[in-house]
Amino acid sequence: MFDYPIFDMPLIGHRLLFAFDAIIHVFISHGAAVGGSIVLALAQYFAIKDNDHKFDELAYKILFTFFILATAVGALTGIGIWVHVNIINPAAIGALLRVFFWKWFVEWIVFNIEMVFLLWWFLTWQKYPLGTPGKRFHFKLGATYAISSWFTMAIITAILGFMMTPGNWLKSEFPARPDYLASLFNPSWFPSLGFRTFFSIGWAAAAAMVLTWFFTKEDEALREKAIRFFGKILWVSVPLFLLFGYWYYTQFPQAAKDLFAIGAVTRNLASNPILPWMLNLVLAAIALLGGILLYTNPKKAPLAVAIALMVGCMGLLAEFERVREFVRKPYIIYGYMYANGVRVMDVPVLNRDGFLKRATFVPDELKTVTASNKVVAGRALYEMQCRYCHTINGVNAIKDRVKNWDEKAIYSRIGSLNSSATPFMPPFTGTDAERGALAAYLASLNGPAAHAVQH
C-alpha cells in the first residue's frame, strides 16, 4: 500500500483541483491538438486545392492560436495531471503504470513525435507559400501531426476505458497472470475512442468558427466561406459522436448508469431526474443554436452568437468529464480498486489485520489503536481513506457531514458507507477498533462534547 506522501489541499480539495486541471487539459487537447490538427489539415488541403491564399492565411492564424494553447496551457495542465494523480492516488497510478507500462511508453514516444511535427508544421508554414512545390510536403507535415496526435489520444482513451471497464483483465488468471491484451482491448475502448474523436473534431470546428469571426472582421466573403467550411465539419461530427456516445454508454456497468443523475448535477438535485436532462439539453441547445446562427448568417452574426457556441460546447465537454469520473465510483479502477486506493482483494485482509498495520508510512505507535492514540489514529485513517473526496472545512467538507453527530452515530454510519443511500462511497476498511478511531476523530471536529459520547 502506497500511502505517502499525505498531501492536504484545504478548502478546494483534491477532487475539485484535479477536475479544474483535467477539464482545462481536455478542452485544449481535444480542441487545439487532436481535433484542431485534423480540422486545420483539412483546411490546408482545400486551400491548396483551390489555391486560396486568404483561406491558407486564415488557417495559419487559427493554427497560431491552437499552437499557443497546445504547447503552453495544454502541456502545463498535462504535467499538472501527472502531479495531481501521484499526490492524490499514487496506488491507482501505480496500478495503471504496471498494466500499461509499454503502451504508455509508446504513447510518450508518439507524443514527442507529435510535438516535433507540430513545431515543424507551424514554424515552416510561411516558408512554403501556396503555389510552391514545398506546399504539398508541408501539408504532409500537418497530416502526420494529426495522425500522431490522434494516436496519443487512442492510447490514453484505452487507459481511461480500462478504468471503467477492465473487462476480461479481471476475469483472467488474476492477479497471478492478468490478461494484459484484454486491458488494452477493453469493452469501452472503441466506442469511447469514436466518441472522443468526433467530439474533438466538432469542438475544434466550433472553436475555428469562433476564431474566424475574430480574424475576418474586414473580409466578409472569407468569413462566410470559412465559417461554412468549419460548420460543415461540425455538423458531420455531431451525429457521429452521438452515435458513438450511445455505444459508449451501453458498455457501462448498470451500477455506473444508475449514478448518471448524480454525476450530471449534484446529490441534492439528483432526486429530480428531469434536471440532469434539462441541464444537458440547455447546453446542447445553446451550442446548436449558436452554431446554426453563425453558419446561416456568417457575415452579420454578432459576437454573442459565437460566444454562445463556445459556452455550449465547453459546458457539454465539462459535463461529460464530470459524469465519466463520477459514475466510476466507488472505484477508481472498476471492480479492482476503490477511489481511496484500497484494492478490493485486500479488503478482507485489512479488515482482519488492521488497515494501520499494513500502512507502510504510519508511525509504529499508531499501528495499534489504544485509548491514548485513538483520535490521532483516526486522523491517519481519515487521511488515507477519506481525503481523496473530502476536505475538513472546504468543498465536500467532512465536518458538515458529521455536524451535530456524536461518536456513536458516526461509528454506525461508517459501517454503512457503501450502502444504497450512498453507493458512490467506498466501504470503510479496517478493524472495529479502527472504525471507532475514525469515529472518534470525526466526532472531535464537533468539539469536546460530541467526542465525549463513546461507542
Least confident of 266-270, 347-351, 449-453: 449-453
Q: Does a cis peptide bond (omega within 30 degrees of 0) precede residue 330?
A: yes
State whether the Cα torsion 407-412-413-414 is positive or negative.
Answer: positive
Residue 449 has pLDDT above 70, yes or no: no
Beta-strand pair 331-333/337-338: antiparallel
User: What b/e sequence results for 316-325 when a residue is b if at least 16 CB atoms lie within 10 Å of its CB, and e otherwise?
Assistant: bbbbbbbbbb
Helix (H, G, I), strand (E, B) or coil at 177: strand
Predicted confidence at residue 447, as pLDDT, reads 77
Helix (H, G, I), strand (E, B) or coil at 397: strand
| Model confidence pTM above 0.85 | yes
Contact yes or no for 155/146 (Cβ under 8 A): no
Residue 178 has pLDDT above 80, yes or no: no
Summarised one tens digit per residue, pLDDT across range 33-86 is 999 999 999 999 999 999 999 999 999 999 999 999 998 898 889 888 888 888
Predicted confidence at residue 10, as pLDDT, reads 81
Predicted confidence at residue 227, as pLDDT, reads 95
Residue 268 has pLDDT above 80, yes or no: no
DSSP string covering 321-382: HHHHHHTTTTEEETTTEETTS-BGGGHHHHHHH-HHHH-TTS-GGGSS--TTTHHHHHHHHH
CA terminus-to-terminus distance, the chain: 29
Burial of 426 (0-12, 13-18, 19+ CB in 10 A): buried
C-alpha cell at 256: 455506473
Give the helix/strand (H/E) hosting 110: helix 90-123
Least confident of 137-151, 204-218, 366-380, 441-455: 441-455
Among residues 151, 155, 48, 140, which one has the least CA distance to residue 96? 155
Separation between Cα atoms, residue 455 and residue 453, nearest integer Å? 7
Q: Rounded to whole angstroms, what are the CA distances from 260 to 249, 255, 274, 281, 418?
A: 10, 9, 12, 15, 17
C-alpha cell at 368: 495499534
Q: Angle at the Cα of 45 (from 146 to 130), degrees rounded to 5?
A: 120
Residue 341 has pLDDT above 70, yes or no: yes
Least confident of 50-59, 231-240, 253-262: 253-262
State whether the Cα torsion 345-86-418-99 is positive or negative.
Answer: negative
Residue 455 has pLDDT above 50, yes or no: no
Contact yes or no for 393/9 (Cβ under 8 A): no
Helix (H, G, I), strand (E, B) or coil at 391: strand
Summarised one tens digit per residue, pLDDT across range 106-134 is 999 999 999 999 999 999 999 999 988 89
Summarised one tens digit per residue, pLDDT across range 366-382 is 999 999 999 999 999 99
Residue 84 corresponds to which amino acid? Answer: H
